[in-house]
Amino acid sequence: METTVLQLEKVTKSFFGNNALSDVDFDLRKEEIHCICGENGAGKSTLIKLLTGALTPDSGKITIGDMEYSSLSPKESHGLGIHVIYQENLLLHNMSVAENMFVGQEKVKKFNIVDYKELYANASRVIDMLGVSLDVREIVSNLSVANQQYVKIARALVFEPKILIMDEPTSMFNVMDAEKLLEIVKSLKSRGISIIYISHNLSEVMEIADRITVIRDGFTISCRERKDGFSIDQLTSDMIGRSVDMFYVRERHPTGDVIFEVKDLKVKPNDQMVSFSIKKGELVGIAGMVGSGRTEIAQTIFGVRRKYGGKIFLRGNEIRIRNPYEAIKYGICMITEDRQKTGLLLDMTIPANITITALERLKGLFIRRKEEKKESTLITKRVNLKTLNEATDVRFLSGGNQQKVVVGKWVFRDAEIIIFDEPTRGIDVNSKAEIYALMMNLLLEGKSIIMISSDMPELVSITDRVFVVKKGEIVAELSGSEITEKNIITNTI
């Protein structure tokens, strides 16, 4: 018999009368990778918080080893060997790798002086165990996204976890970095660690899972074992309650004349010049590895970064953009990759977030709140935002609904050139389809879209053309049948 190290039985948790989890059953075996899948808002985050002691169940029981609990405190959870690697970047960016790994656990010498020699030696041993190349003295802010994720894993290993929960660990990764991390996850399992792995990426789930549990609307829908076989079609159907063949498929339509053009743009003083154009109603993808310069090009166009040369044209006329305010005046907007940090006002309501881009339309002596609510309601319907109460602060929305709010604020602005930076990162398959449908509707209205994405199927399926960026330079332009994963990756590496 396989040893069960953790079990949830009939666990329920509600907020303001709405069930986030309803009689959920879940168990984890020793040396197992048990993946949890589900749409945004399905209850995955609530489940994590119950296991870490951040939330208390309304009913049900939690069994860990031979001990039964009605709830856990954070101290109890930590003492039982449960550790979480969160999707959010919770590192101390001005401290070194070693300091981040052992923060609060440092060995000290006389006068409470940190023994850095021992600190670096211990950190190096953990990093070597992971099999990654990382200087433990390096400041975290200087690391790539992938290396920062390795630091978070290393920090968890310092505590010798028995149960490791990983929440969307590859959401910020390119294809090759994601493959490397999956190998690390497998190696952790071989060291006796039981892993709960949460991801929207069904391909990687299929690769590493011993079992897959799907949660939908707070209920346990299915638990499938590798030995019995599982498929992406099955998982998608379990997650969204309908067959995958009803999923969104793009319809192609004619594009217009060139409406936006970038000529000889220099993002940095010593960079190569970047030139490209976009037609009215066209969706252009920008591919490349994380750190290739994709986002920097978009930020320069939008005025977040200063440009060191080149010109930007809109409808054949040169425009000068020195900051985002000027870009917005010209009808250019940017949906950033980090919606929580740079896309939303988390402590404000849905209407306040949606109308923030065009407040002049609501101004009287004060902002006309009735008009704000009316306009916001129209936009929420248009972007298919799912919420029980528009007065809710956006921080309480699921990732997919937060992204719809970000899109909604630019729909309200009626922007003409829309830059999407990783538009579907960290959201579920159904929300992805809805975001794609929104983008297609924008194209039909004559808007033009620049989409930066690390999601290969996304680039292949919905773009008209793809520019591949490497070291700040466009090294390839693909169109039509040339847009394949193989061609994109070949030009990327």
Stretch 367-383: mean pLDDT? 83
Give the range among 37-46, 222-231, 308-317 with minimum mean pLDDT: 37-46
Question: Pick the residue with more confidence: 452 or 177?
Answer: 452
Stretch 363-372: mean pLDDT? 77
Question: Pick the residue with more confidence: 252 or 174?
Answer: 252
pLDDT band of residue 217 (cuts 50, 70, 90) is: confident
Query: What would the pLDDT profile of 382-426 be if each residue is shown by its tens digit?
Result: 888 877 677 778 888 877 788 888 888 888 888 899 999 988 877
pLDDT at 243: 57
Query: What would the pLDDT profile of 56-105 be if each residue is shown by its tens digit?
Result: 999 999 999 889 999 999 999 999 999 998 876 678 888 899 999 888 77
Structure tokens belonging to residue 477: 């332009």
Helix H, strand E, coil C: the string for the chain is CCCEEEEEEEEEEEECCEEEEEEEEEEEECCCEEEEECCCCCCHHHHHHHHHCCCCCCEEEEEECCEEECCCCHHHHHHCCEEEECCCCCCCCCCEHHHHHCCCCCCECHHHCECHHHHHHHHHHHHHHHCCCCCCCCEHHHCCHHHHHHHHHHHHHHCCCCEEEEECCCCCCCHHHHHHHHHHHHHHHHCCCEEEEECCCHHHHHHHCCEEEEEECCEEEEEEEHHHCCCHHHHHHHHHCCCHHHCCCCCCCCCCCEEEEEEEECCCCCCCCEEEEEECCCEEEEECCCCCCHHHHHHHHHCCCCCCCCEEEECCEEECCCCHHHHHHCCEEEECCCHHHHHCCCCCEHHHHHHHHHHHHCECCCECHHHHHHHHHHHHHHCCCCCCCCCCEHHHCCHHHHHHHHHHHHHHHCCCEEEEECCCCCCCHHHHHHHHHHHHHHHHCCCEEEEECCCHHHHHHHCCEEEEEECCEEEEEEEHHHCCHHHHHHHHC
Mean pLDDT of the chain: 86
Stretch 2-18: mean pLDDT? 86
pLDDT at 89: 66
pLDDT at 167: 87
pLDDT at 385: 82
Q: What proportion of the chain, given as a percentage, has pLDDT over 90? A: 39
Give the range among 114-118, 231-235, 363-367, 473-477 with minimum mean pLDDT: 363-367
pLDDT at 247: 52
Q: What whole-number distance in Å separates Cα of residue 339 and Cα of residue 399?
A: 9
Stretch 234-242: mean pLDDT? 78
pLDDT band of residue 446 (cuts 50, 70, 90) is: very high
Give the range among 112-116, 283-287, 445-449, 463-467 with minimum mean pLDDT: 112-116
Could you give all domains of the chain from N- to C-terminal order, each with its CATH number? 4-244 (3.40.50.300), 258-492 (3.40.50.300)
pLDDT at 493: 63
pLDDT at 1: 47
Query: What would the pLDDT profile of 265-277 be if each residue is shown by its tens digit?
Result: 999 888 889 999 9
pLDDT band of residue 298 (cuts 50, 70, 90) is: very high
pLDDT band of residue 248 (cuts 50, 70, 90) is: low
pLDDT at 218: 87
pLDDT band of residue 330 (cuts 50, 70, 90) is: very high
